[in-house]
C-alpha cells in the first residue's frame, strides 16, 4: 500500500501571502522575463462539509504521489507538490498549450477545527481526497454566581 506524506504542526503561519502570489501572476502576464524561474500553477479544489467531517478534493492529474506533501493543523491544510513538464516536440507549432506544470502550493483555511489524529488521504486517478474529522463542539457550562 502506498502512503501520502502528512505532516502535523503549527508552522502554517510562514506561508506566502496571497498578495505576493497575485503580484507574481500579474508580472508573469506582462511577459516571461518577469516571471519566476520555476513555473507554478494552482490546481482546482473543492471543500465541503457534513455535520461530522470536512472533505477536500484536489484535481492534480499528472502529479506523482511521491511529489505530494500535505501539512495540517487544526485550522488549515497546506498541499504542495509538483507536476513535471511534458516533453515538447521541437518542430511542432503549438496552437493551444493550457496544461500547467511546475510547483504548486495551496493553503486552505478550514471552516471548523479538526481532529488532526483522524485524517485520511487517498489519491486515485489524479484526484487527491482528504477526509478530516471535525472536533466536537464544546458544550457551554452554566456558572453560578455566589454572594461571596
Q: The whole model's pTM is what?
A: 0.69
Instruction: Name beta bridge partners: 38.
Output: none
What does R_g of the chain's alpha carbons equal in angstroms?
20
Nearest residue to 85 via CA among 116, 62, 115: 62
All domains of the chain in start order, with CATH: 6-86+98-134 (2.60.40.790)
If the chain, 148 residues long, is cut into consecutive pieces of 10 residues, what is the mean pLDDT of each piece?
Answer: 62 52 58 52 95 96 95 94 88 87 95 93 96 86 83
Nearest-angstrom CA–CA distance, 56 and 53: 10
Amino acid at each position: 500500500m502506498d502512503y501520502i506524506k502528512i505532516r502535523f504542526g503549527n508552522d502554517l503561519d510562514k506561508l506566502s501571502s496571497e498578495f505576493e502570489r497575485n503580484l507574481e501572476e500579474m508580472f508573469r502576464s506582462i511577459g516571461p522575463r518577469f516571471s519566476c524561474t520555476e513555473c507554478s500553477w494552482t490546481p482546482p479544489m473543492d471543500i465541503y462539509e457534513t455535520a461530522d467531517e470536512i472533505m477536500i478534493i484536489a484535481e492534480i492529474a499528472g502529479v506523482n504521489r511521491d511529489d505530494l506533501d500535505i501539512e495540517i493543523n487544526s485550522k488549515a491544510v497546506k498541499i504542495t507538490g509538483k507536476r513535471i513538464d511534458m516533453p515538447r516536440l521541437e518542430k511542432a507549432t503549438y496552437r493551444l498549450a493550457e496544461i500547467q506544470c511546475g510547483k504548486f502550493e495551496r493553503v486552505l483555511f478550514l471552516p471548523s477545527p479538526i481532529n488532526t489524529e483522524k485524517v485520511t488521504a487517498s489519491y486515485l486517478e489524479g484526484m487527491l481526497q482528504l477526509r478530516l474529522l471535525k472536533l466536537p463542539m464544546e458544550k457551554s457550562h452554566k456558572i453560578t454566581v455566589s454572594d461571596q
